[in-house]
Amino acid sequence: MIDETHKNFKWLVLLTVIIGTFLGRLDQTIVNLALPKIIIDFKITVTSAAWIATAYILANAVFVPIWGKLGDTIGRKKVYIMGFAIFIFGSALAGFAWNLSSMIVFRIIQAIAGSADYPTAMAILAVTFQQGKERAQALGLWSVSFAAASVFGPLIGGPMIDLFGWRSIFLLNIPVGIVGVIMAFIFVRESVSEHKTVHFDWWGAITLGVALSSLVLVLDQGLSWGWFSLNSILCYLATIVFTTIFIAIESKFSEPIVDLKFFKNSVFVSTLMNNFVVFMSMMGAVFLVPIFVETYLGYDATKTGYLFIPMAFFMVIASPIGASFTGKVQPRYIIFASTLVAAMGIFMFSFLDPRSSALAVIIPLSIMAFGMGFGMAQRTSVIAAVVPTEEIGMASSVLALGRNIAGAFGIAVFGTILTNATNSNVLNTAYHSIIKITSPAVYQQAVELIILKAQIDAYKPVFIIASAVLLVGAGLALLIKVSKEKIRGVPSGSHTGEEAFVEV
């Protein structure tokens, strides 16, 4: 068991993994701000620059389950520090990239390393905080760092890029990362599974990697390619074929990279489905809000970032409030309520128009964030409570993978809905418009106004659909049938045996 000295350091363990998680997500957010400067320096097109982000997303998605399995096998602390160290090295390389090809390679290195964080961090916290309520608080606060990074990215990145250039955002990772690695060496205690992996599931890893790459690629590029283009169809086929092969391999392999029995656990599946729907709607909506604000309200990037500060605040305060109900209320009711509140926040975005004030953006963001934060601790606690301790890393990697795909799916789906709604609105508005003066200048102005109105009106159905999807997610939350006693009273080692700890 964990000794008394380690118990005194457990909140520093939480701070350590928060630094790693925050830094990885912050980097991903800031790089998007730097793309215009990179495009100019490298003399590349916007389409080419998009591969800097796409390559990161692909590599991150593919390696999450691999790191999760390795963490359970050789030790979570080893894998966490290894990933963190490689991430720092990749950041240094990216800071000195000289062209598009080098940048893509270095971003892939960053992504592979960064994907080690989520599954190992969650497993480290699960074995560090074994008491149900404390664990819920720790996991909830850690989960908030995901959203906080997306909020603080524009606030930190914008001024840094303007003052010191785009390379500074990568070099910033080096000193902060070194502090994080040192803290991990000092405060994190090694934990490994009792069940050692003898044969690593390389074929499972490869086929899953191909399937995920094809899926994420088409979600990221499908809107520009066309969803029924040859490239998209090939990606669909590759996803289906390699997913089928992957399932066949995992069902027969003795030590699979993803244990398919997770999907026989109704609590795990219900939590995963709710998590997917929530993140799909949130990422899709949050992706579109800054575009609306900057395009139609006239805010610059820095001022837009300020609007998101209350979102981080409400998410941070909501997480411990939600965690405080652990053991008192069944998790499904808390997750249901949180999803419902998030749906209300997103629905309020449907009232945005070019005359909207800053509060019209801040209030819906805050309500949505409170709802998200309120249920975060419960989702992660449910997963930690219903899977064997030796497979927490693997299970959390599946949860992380679901989030990544949900985010890409949400951006793709709601981006497509926005485009289709805009095209439909152009035709509808033009049909009901009468232009009485037919001079070329007036006609051109009228066409521009019709397109502008169509674009603005297109956001309303997108936010309504996103909130409706969240209502479906709230219904799915009621399927998470795990008792409050199980969340409160079962220590993580009691599923299949005590966790093996190794002093280092």
Compute the distance between CA of residue 369 and CA of residue 413 in angstroms, rounded to an integer.
Answer: 21
Number of domains in the chain: 2
Mark whether 249 and 109 lie in a shared domain. Answer: no
Burial 82-105 (b: 16+ CB within 10 A, else e): bbbbbbbbbbebbbebeebeebbe
Mark whether 194 and 282 lie in a shared domain. Answer: yes
Closest CA to 296 of 348, 349, 346, 353: 353
Considering the entire predicted model, what is its pTM?
Answer: 0.73
- Mean pLDDT, residues 433-442 taken together: 66
Mark whether 292 and 384 lie in a shared domain. Answer: yes
Residue 456 to residues 243, 335, 351: CA-CA distances in angstroms? 39, 33, 11
Confidence of residue 504 (pLDDT cuts 50, 70, 90): very low
Q: How far apart are the first and last CA of the chain?
A: 15
Compute the distance between CA of residue 67 and CA of residue 80 in angstroms, rounded to an integer.
Answer: 9
Mark whether 247 and 282 lie in a shared domain. Answer: no
Our CA angle for 123, 127, 133, nearest 5°, is 105
Per-residue tokens: 237: 């086929």
Per-residue tokens: 256: 């699979």
Can you spell out the DSSP letters for 336-384? HHHHHHHHHHHHHGGG--TT--SHHHHHHHHHHHHHHHHHHHHHHHHHH
Compute the distance between CA of residue 385 and CA of residue 389 in angstroms, rounded to an integer.
Answer: 9
Mark whether 207 and 183 lie in a shared domain. Answer: no
Compute the distance between CA of residue 504 and CA of residue 502 in angstroms, rounded to an integer.
Answer: 6
More confident residue, 409 or 356: 356
Compute the distance between CA of residue 338 and CA of residue 65 in angstroms, rounded to an integer.
Answer: 28
Closest CA to 233 of 246, 247, 221: 221
- Mean pLDDT, residues 288-292 taken together: 82
Mark whether 123 and 217 lie in a shared domain. Answer: no
Confidence of residue 89 (pLDDT cuts 50, 70, 90): very high
E-strand ranges in 303-369 read none
Mark whether 110 and 188 lie in a shared domain. Answer: yes
Q: Identify the pLDDT of residue 92.
A: 93
Mark whether 244 and 268 lie in a shared domain. Answer: no
Q: Identify the pLDDT of residue 194.
A: 56
Q: What share of the chain is helix, strand, coil (3-state, %, to 5)?
A: 80, 0, 15
Q: Identify the pLDDT of residue 424.
A: 81
Domain final position from 219, 235, 254: 254
Mark whether 228 and 102 lie in a shared domain. Answer: no
Q: Identify the pLDDT of residue 4.
A: 46
Closest CA to 143 of 295, 315, 343, 23: 315
Q: Is 491 helix (H, G, I), strand (E, B) or coil?
A: coil
DSSP state of 131: S
pLDDT digits (tens, 9 = 90+) for 296-352: 888 876 677 788 778 878 887 887 788 778 777 888 888 899 999 999 999 999 998
pLDDT digits (tens, 9 = 90+) for 165-220: 889 989 988 998 899 899 988 888 886 655 555 567 778 888 888 888 888 788 87
Q: Are 378 and 363 in contact (CB under 8 A)?
A: no
Domain final position from 221, 236, 254: 254
Mark whether 222 and 146 lie in a shared domain. Answer: no
Confidence of residue 493 (pLDDT cuts 50, 70, 90): very low
Closest CA to 85 of 54, 112, 62, 118: 112
DSSP state of 500: E
Q: How many helices (H) and strands (E) does the chain have?
A: 19, 2
Compute the distance between CA of residue 306 and CA of residue 468 in angstroms, rounded to an integer.
Answer: 28
Q: Is 190 helix (H, G, I), strand (E, B) or coil?
A: strand
* Listed ranges 235-249, 298-312, 318-332, 469-483; the one with the highest mean pLDDT: 235-249
Closest CA to 292 of 364, 343, 229, 241: 364
Confidence of residue 237 (pLDDT cuts 50, 70, 90): very high
Burial environment of residue 116 by CB neighbours within 10 A (0 to 12, 13 to 18, 19 or more): buried
Mark whether 236 and 265 lie in a shared domain. Answer: no
Number of Cβ within 10 Å of residue 237's Cβ equals 11
Its domain, for residue 378, covers: 4-200+255-502
Compute the distance between CA of residue 19 and CA of residue 173 in angstroms, rounded to an integer.
Answer: 11
Question: What is the domain-level CATH number for residue 140?
Answer: 1.20.1250.20
Q: Is 405 helix (H, G, I), strand (E, B) or coil?
A: helix
Mark whether 244 and 111 lie in a shared domain. Answer: no
Judged against a pLDDT cut of 60, whether residue 498 lies above it is answered with: no
